[in-house]
Structure 1
């Protein structure tokens, strides 16, 4: 089943990338990290970028699978307003005369889902629940991918909002591994909270 495989592939990718992060944070018995700070930051931020790509890939694959009439994990199919002949045709229909489809933007995905599926099917519901979090993840992604004064200011603003204290000169790494005050009752860092949220959304999308 395509949707089941999409979910499995997504979760396997997250598990593998988390293992890279764990490797980067290994310590000797005396508590000293085994690798340098710069390498630790590089591995962790690179893993986060790949995690974001894994999420985009899952959303794109699932959207196209539903559009070509694949069943969900729970054997559901959406009412849809297009009948592409295959995956390539489905992708062409979605893109239209644009250069590409931005699967990283939940607002765009939700809007497009309402064009092709009755009431946006599961995409509108699942993505609306974490819309703000996904946009925040995108801000962190942009900062990790290409640091500039603009991305730095946006990241500082995001860190200030999340952590509840004035933050300056923050990095993606520093924010991702800060304890998230919104995580209750079980404390999580910012990255762990995001991964929990997108895993729940992915399962919801796959189940239909």
Structure 2
């Protein structure tokens, strides 16, 4: 089943990249890190970017599969208003007159889901529930991918909002590995919380 495989692939990708992050944070018995801080940051931010790409890939593949009338894990199929002949045709329908489809933007995904599926099917409901989190993730992604005065100020604003204290000159690494005060689970980092959110949403989309 295509949707089941999409979920398996996303979870495998995430688990592999989390193992890279764990490797980067190994410590000696003395408690000091085995890998220098700049390398820890590079490995961790690179892994985060790959996880983010894995999420975009999952959403895109699932959207296309539902357009191709593939059943969900729970054997559901959405009512849809287009009938592409194959995956390439589905991609062309999705893109339309745009240069590309931005699978990192939950609002755009929800909008097109309501065009192609009855009431947007599971994409509208699942992404709506975590819309703000996805937009925050995009802010972190932009900061990790390219540093500029704009991305720095946006990340500082996001970090201040999440951590509940004013911060400046924050990096994606600092924020992702800060303890998230929004979580009810002790010692949950910002990254841990986002990974939990993405996993739940991916399962909802795959289940249909």
TM-score norm. by structure 1 comes to 0.99
Which has the larger displacement, 178-187 or 108-117? Answer: 178-187
Q: CA RMSD in A?
A: 0.5
Q: For 1:100-124, what per-residue CA distance to the aligned partner results, in whole angstroms no more than 9, with x for missing partners?
A: 0000000000000000000000000
2: distance between equivalents of 1:90 and 1:109? 14
Task: Indicate the residue corresponding to 2:7 in structure 1.
Answer: 7
2: distance between equivalents of 1:186 and 1:84? 47
Task: Indicate the residue corresponding to 2:117 in structure 1.
Answer: 117
Task: Indicate the residue corresponding to 2:152 in structure 1.
Answer: 152
Q: For 1:62-111, what per-residue CA distance to the aligned partner results, in whole angstroms no more than 9, with x for missing partners?
A: 00000000000000000000000000000000000111000000000000
1: distance between equivalents of 2:6 and 2:32? 39
Divergent runs of 4+, >6 A: none
1: distance between equivalents of 2:194 and 2:187? 13
Task: Indicate the residue corresponding to 1:96 in structure 2.
Answer: 96
Matches within 5 A, 1:155-166: 155-166=155-166
1:59–1:177 distance in 2 versus 1, CA, 3 Å = same
Task: Indicate the residue corresponding to 1:53 in structure 2.
Answer: 53
Task: Indicate the residue corresponding to 1:41 in structure 2.
Answer: 41
Structure 1 portions without partners, runs of 5+: none
Task: Indicate the residue corresponding to 2:206 in structure 1.
Answer: 206
TM-score norm. by structure 2 comes to 0.99
Shift in Å, 1:202: 0.2
Q: Secondary structure at the match of 1:7?
A: helix
Task: Indicate the residue corresponding to 1:171 in structure 2.
Answer: 171
Aligned residues: 208
Q: Secondary structure at the match of 1:119?
A: helix
Task: Indicate the residue corresponding to 1:81 in structure 2.
Answer: 81
2: distance between equivalents of 1:187 and 1:74? 34
Q: For 1:147-166, what per-residue CA distance to the aligned partner results, in whole angstroms no more than 9, with x for missing partners?
A: 00000000000000000000
1: distance between equivalents of 2:95 and 2:33? 46
Shift in Å, 1:185: 3.9
1: distance between equivalents of 2:123 and 2:137? 18
